[in-house]
């Protein structure tokens, strides 16, 4: 952001609007993209979304006008939701529900690995090639992914596309929300987004309170959260074989709550990194179970269900920094994480109590 601000002659706070320009359209477009995926084809939507994101990202590398840069990020945000949530919906179509948690966990591990690699190399690319080099590199990798997806999906059959029917689309959403689990799943990920991901922009603030001024250490702490998710994903086959889904949600909530309490205490960056490793394990242990239930809310509108899941989650992420900015300013650095611990425990208890699969999927829901 400082590099963009300096190059384009704008304030850093103005450049920071690029993040909002991507996140809010991402959340707002989710219900529409889910409907598009269900009627016109999930793989078609993913290919189109990849193409738009790649083109707009490459344009960002060459623009010299901030409004155009914002417009390109808005377009990217509008279509980016047609990639990962739709990918999870495709897994739901291809994998039986009793094997779905492991399959989604593997997809999650790949996505998190990409996030960690991106977070690690982006600073180096920015220093070497500037902010335009960052966009150019992202666009290049995206182009490779888009070409690979085009050929990989050519022979993948997920049913014939259907003509759009507004009544059928509305019925699909009614069917999703008719399942009692929908309210639990969507409200849970909304508050997860607020309390957990909403705190990430303030990691540097927490470290500053302990005397650490280097922002690179904040990046390492946040990366540890993703590493915890990867560790959980790799251990999923063993966990599914030995722990019931209900217990997995409870353990995940307890781990995240413990991490919140330790964050409230305050500690050096290397200890906080270990806490965020536990934080990541706990979050993804709970979140992955919720995602599996979302894929089971509807057999005919699965992309719509996953898009609603992503919509609620990203709205939570968008609200979270606003909440934490107010809470840290008015109540100090300890009270907001302690409240987060209470919230995540309540989420875990509610999910463990009310999320049950409709069919007799003993291998997933209750273990061997």
For 139-149, what is each residue's pLDDT tens digit?
999 999 989 98
Q: What is the mean pLDDT of residues 274-293?
A: 93
Task: Give the C-alpha separation, 46 to 81, whole Å.
Answer: 9
How many percent of the chain have pLDDT more than 90?
A: 29
Q: Residue 206 burial (CB < 10 Å; 0-12/13-18/19+)?
A: buried
How many percent of the chain have pLDDT more than 70?
A: 91
User: H helices of the chain, where?
Assistant: 2-8, 12-15, 17-40, 42-60, 66-80, 84-94, 97-152, 166-178, 180-195, 203-209, 215-242, 245-265, 269-295, 302-331, 335-354, 362-365
pTM: predicted TM-score of the whole model, two decimal places: 0.73
Task: Give the C-alpha separation, 282 to 325, whole Å.
Answer: 24
**pLDDT top residue among 174 and 281:** 281
Chain-wide mean pLDDT for the chain? 83
CA count, 13 A, side-chain hemisphere, 95: 20
Q: What is the mean pLDDT of residues 41-58?
A: 90
pLDDT for res 107: 82
Q: What is the mean pLDDT of residues 169-175?
A: 81
Radius of gyration for the alpha carbons in the chain, expressed in angstroms and rounded: 20
Is it the case that residue 90 has pLDDT exceeding 60? yes
Task: Give the C-alpha separation, 106 to 307, whole Å.
Answer: 19
With CA atoms as reference, report the closest residue to 324 among 220, 188, 197, 186: 197
pLDDT band for position 1 (cuts 50, 70, 90): low
Q: Which residues, including other chains, have CB under 8 Å from residue 34's CB and lie 6 or more apart? A: 85, 89, 301, 303, 304, 305, 306, 307, 308
Q: What is the mean pLDDT of residues 105-131?
A: 76
* Contact indicator for 5, 130 with CB cutoff of 8 Å: no
pLDDT band for position 219 (cuts 50, 70, 90): confident
pLDDT for res 160: 63
Is it the case that residue 363 has pLDDT exceeding 70? no
pLDDT tens by residue, 3-40:
788 888 887 667 767 877 887 888 888 778 877 777 77
Q: Can you tell me whether residue 301 is helix, strand or coil?
A: coil
The structure tokens 């993804």 sit at: 284
**pLDDT top residue among 256 and 119:** 256
**pLDDT top residue among 169 and 179:** 179
């Amino acid at each position: 952001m400082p590099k963009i601000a300096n190059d384009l002659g704008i304030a850093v706070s103005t450049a920071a609007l690029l993040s909002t320009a991507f996140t809010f359209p991402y959340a707002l477009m989710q219900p529409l993209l889910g409907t598009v995926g269900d009627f016109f084809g999930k793989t078609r939507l993913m290919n189109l979304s990849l193409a738009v994101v790649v083109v707009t990202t490459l344009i960002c590398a060459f623009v010299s006008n901030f409004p155009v840069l914002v417009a390109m990020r808005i377009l990217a945000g509008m279509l980016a939701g047609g990639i990962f949530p739709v990918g999870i919906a495709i897994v739901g179509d291809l994998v039986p529900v009793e094997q779905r948690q492991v399959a989604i966990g593997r997809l999650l591990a790949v996505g998190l690995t990409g996030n960690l690699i991106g977070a690690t190399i982006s600073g180096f690319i920015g220093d070497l090639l500037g902010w335009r080099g960052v966009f150019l590199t992202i666009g290049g990798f995206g182009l490779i992914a888009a070409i690979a997806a085009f050929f990989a999906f050519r022979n993948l059959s997920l049913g014939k596309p259907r003509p759009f029917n507004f009544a059928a689309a509305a019925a699909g959403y009614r069917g999703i929300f008719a399942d009692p689990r929908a309210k639990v799943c969507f409200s849970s990920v909304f508050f997860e987004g607020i309390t957990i991901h909403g705190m990430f922009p303030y990691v540097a603030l927490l470290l500053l309170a302990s005397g650490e001024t280097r922002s690179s250490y904040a990046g390492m702490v946040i990366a540890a959260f993703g590493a915890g998710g990867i560790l959980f994903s790799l251990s999923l086959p063993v966990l599914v074989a030995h722990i019931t889904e209900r217990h997995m949600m409870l353990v995940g909530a307890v781990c995240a709550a413990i991490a919140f309490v330790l964050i409230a205490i305050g500690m050096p960056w290397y200890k906080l990194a270990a806490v965020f490793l536990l934080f990541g394990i706990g979050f993804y242990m709970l979140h992955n179970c919720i995602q599996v239930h979302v894929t089971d809310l509807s057999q005919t509108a699965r992309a719509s269900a996953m898009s609603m899941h992503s919509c609620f989650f990203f709205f939570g992420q968008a609200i979270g920094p606003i909440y934490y900015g107010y809470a840290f300013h008015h109540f100090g650095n300890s009270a907001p994480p302690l409240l987060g611990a209470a919230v995540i425990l309540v989420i875990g208890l509610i999910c463990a109590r009310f999320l049950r699969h409709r069919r007799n999927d003993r291998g997933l829901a209750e273990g061997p």
